[in-house]
Amino acid sequence: MDTILSGIQPTGNLHFGRYFGAIQNWMQLQETYDCLYCVVDYHAMTMPFVPGKLRENSWELVYNLLAVGIKPENLFIQSLVPEHTELGWILNCFASYGQLTRMTQFKDKSSQSEEQAEGFVSVGLYTYPVLQAADILIYKATKVPVGKDQEQHLELTRNIAQRFNNEIGKEFFALPEALYTEIPKVMSTADPLRKMSASQGEKHNIDLFADSDRIRKQIRSAVTDTGEAVEGVMSPGVENLFSLLRAAGQTAAYDSLLLDYQAGALKYADLKYTVAEGLVAISEPIRERKAAIAADKKAVKNQIKASAAAIRTRAQETVREVKELVGLANVKF
Ligand code: TRP
């Protein structure tokens, strides 16, 4: 059976953009594959961060992911499996410096980091894709559900695996592939030309755990037409509301409202109402499960520590083999 691995950074809130863009898909994959989902706290250190808050943020994301429906046995926090960093170091020595310099995410994020931290850009940010390769290869995962923005990192991962295999003369690592699924483009309702995102501020994302009235209010104030409407072209705001409706699984309402739109008879208030109720219907049961989890955090923590321990034995086995293959001293676990 294929092993799937994906990672999510414990930064920012869990909003509908991340839910429709990744997490909903993660849940479905659990039905078919051996899935491992990692809250990547080591990665969250590569951008300016508040020391001391990492752990709290990671656990909060764990609770949220469990509330959404990620199975506890599939979920762990990266730093509970410190072998990721050990393999990461070894893989640094199989990663091409030249290739790393071409990572576009590094270029984007390094300028963000410079702005946020008075010119500071960490080496961690630079070598981050190699740690990501370790996250994947340590479980010999073959499929990686990610967005298009991670394509370059996946290609790097394959190159590292290939170089390792060539150097040691054995097909040790399988070459992982990105698993793209059709994911809706979810834009900010306050500015439908930008992606829904945690980093742009509250009004640019709708929190999955927001109370229902807040969700309704955010949708009610969504931008529709900006005054520069072009005859026969759907405005980005209206298009985004339709995408949200479809993402929320409201296909019948989507079809009928689209017919109204085409007939020039769509009332934006109706569209907004239907979108808001669609989102609320998703969020309510999730919020209820979150409340149950929050009532017994200790039990949940123990459960995740146990999954991390089980997952760790898999990681340790790979690191043991890798050290053996490259000729490093071997410690018995
Ligand atoms: N780099 C990914 C992101 O920014 C997160 C990530 C870390 C990841 N390790 C991973 C994704 C391993 C897939 C597999 O979204």
What domains sit in the chain, N to C, each tagged with a CATH number? 3-183+297-326 (3.40.50.620), 198-292 (1.10.240.10)
Which residue is closest in CA terms to ligand 1's atom 11?
Answer: 7
pLDDT at 284 (0 to 100): 98
Task: Quote the ligand 1 centre to 244 CA distance (angstroms).
Answer: 24
| Contact yes or no for 100/58 (Cβ under 8 A) | no
Task: Quote the ligand 1 centre to 144 CA distance (angstroms).
Answer: 9
| Contact yes or no for 207/61 (Cβ under 8 A) | no
Q: Which numbered atom of ligand 1 lies nearest the CA of 5?
A: 14
Q: How far apart are CA 92 and CA 134, in angstroms?
A: 9
Q: What is the residue type of 219?
A: I
Strands of the sheet containing 3-8, edge to edge, are 75-77, 34-39, 3-8, 143-145, 177-179
Which residue is closest in CA terms to ligand 1's atom 14?
Answer: 6
For 263-316, how does the pLDDT look when each residue is reduced to its tens digit (9 = 90+)? 999 999 999 999 999 999 999 999 999 999 999 999 999 999 999 999 999 999
pLDDT at 62 (0 to 100): 98
249 closest CA partner among 73, 20, 90, 17? 20
pLDDT at 333 over 60: no
Task: Quote the ligand 1 centre to 7 CA distance (angstroms).
Answer: 4
- When comparing pLDDT for 248 and 182, which is higher? 248
Which residue is closest in CA terms to ligand 1's atom 8?
Answer: 7
At residue 184 the predicted structure's pLDDT band, cuts being 50, 70 and 90, is confident
For 48-84, how does the pLDDT look when each residue is reduced to its tens digit (9 = 90+)? 999 899 999 999 999 999 999 999 999 999 999 999 9
Q: Which residues line ligand 1 (CB under 6 A)?
A: 5-7, 9, 40, 43, 132, 135-136, 144, 146, 150
